[in-house]
Chains A and B, each alone.
Chain A
Amino acid sequence: DGGITQSPKYLFRKEGQNVTLSCEQNLNHDAMYWYRQDPGQGLRLIYYSQIVNDFQKGDIAEGYSVSREKKESFPLTVTSAQKNPTAFYLCASSLPGGRYTGELFFGEGSRLTVL
């Protein structure tokens, strides 16, 4: 089945450590996104990528980094510079550019807890 796979589902990190969240899609979508979800705050965009080897900062990119070396993969690194990393992270994909109508396809999310 086509879809988006995020791993790990749960992750615990000590303060000062970098962690990388995986996101893989087999929908053949060009555009991919990372959102952060906190209780009562909806979803906030961290980074997005319209095409391989290109990505843009979203609204809350500080303390995060991404890469887009392959169309199907868009990993997110939460660095030690992120002040409050405990959150639920969602990866999504869509058709790009003029074909993007606002419909996003989401993975099941990764819950990161900093101890």
Chain B
Amino acid sequence: GDSVTQMEGPVTLSEEAFLTINCTYTATGYPSLFWYVQYPGEGLQLLLKATKADDKGSNKGFEATYRKETTSFHLEKGSVQVSDSAVYFCALFTSGGYNKLIFGAGTRLAVHP
């Protein structure tokens, strides 16, 4: 079945460091891909998305490119801030039949000053 695999955390970085969180997926169709972020004590919120191959989603300095050839959707940010500390979830959605999001396990990011 469809699935999402994320790199295990926690990822610990100093402020202004470069961030990469790896995400790969397995899907039979042509999924849309998402990154959701969960700040401490809160629910999830959509960070960015891409709906087809080679699309780049971006928001708040974060970017991810939908790579069909490598079935990947890695999250990147050039310079992280302490306020980026959160749990990041990669997810995929395939329409038709049972419409649902499939989430990865989440990757915790801790940014230190």
- Interface positions of A (Cβ within 8 A of B): 4, 6, 40-43, 45, 48, 58, 90, 92, 97-98, 100-104, 106-109
Contacts and interface: CB of A to CB of B under 8 A. Distances in A.
Interface residues of B, number: 23
Interface of B: 32, 34, 36, 41-46, 49, 51, 89, 91-93, 95, 99-101, 103-106
Give the secondary structure class of A's interface. loop
A42 B6 CA distance: 10
B41 to A, nearest CB: 7
B49 A42 contact: no
B43 A103 contact: no
B105 A90 contact: no
Contact of B46 (A6, A41, A58, A103): A103
A40 B106 CA distance: 7
Given A100-B99, A103-B49, A42 B34 contact: no
Give the secondary structure class of B's interface. strand
A42 B44 contact: no
B89 A97 contact: no
9 contacts: A6-B43, A40-B106, A42-B105, A43-B89, A43-B103, A102-B32, A102-B49, A104-B44, A109-B43
B106 A102 contact: no
A108 B32 contact: no
B42 A102 contact: no
Contact of B93 (A43, A45, A101, A108): A101
A115 B43 CA distance: 24
A49 B69 CA distance: 35
Contacts of A41: 105
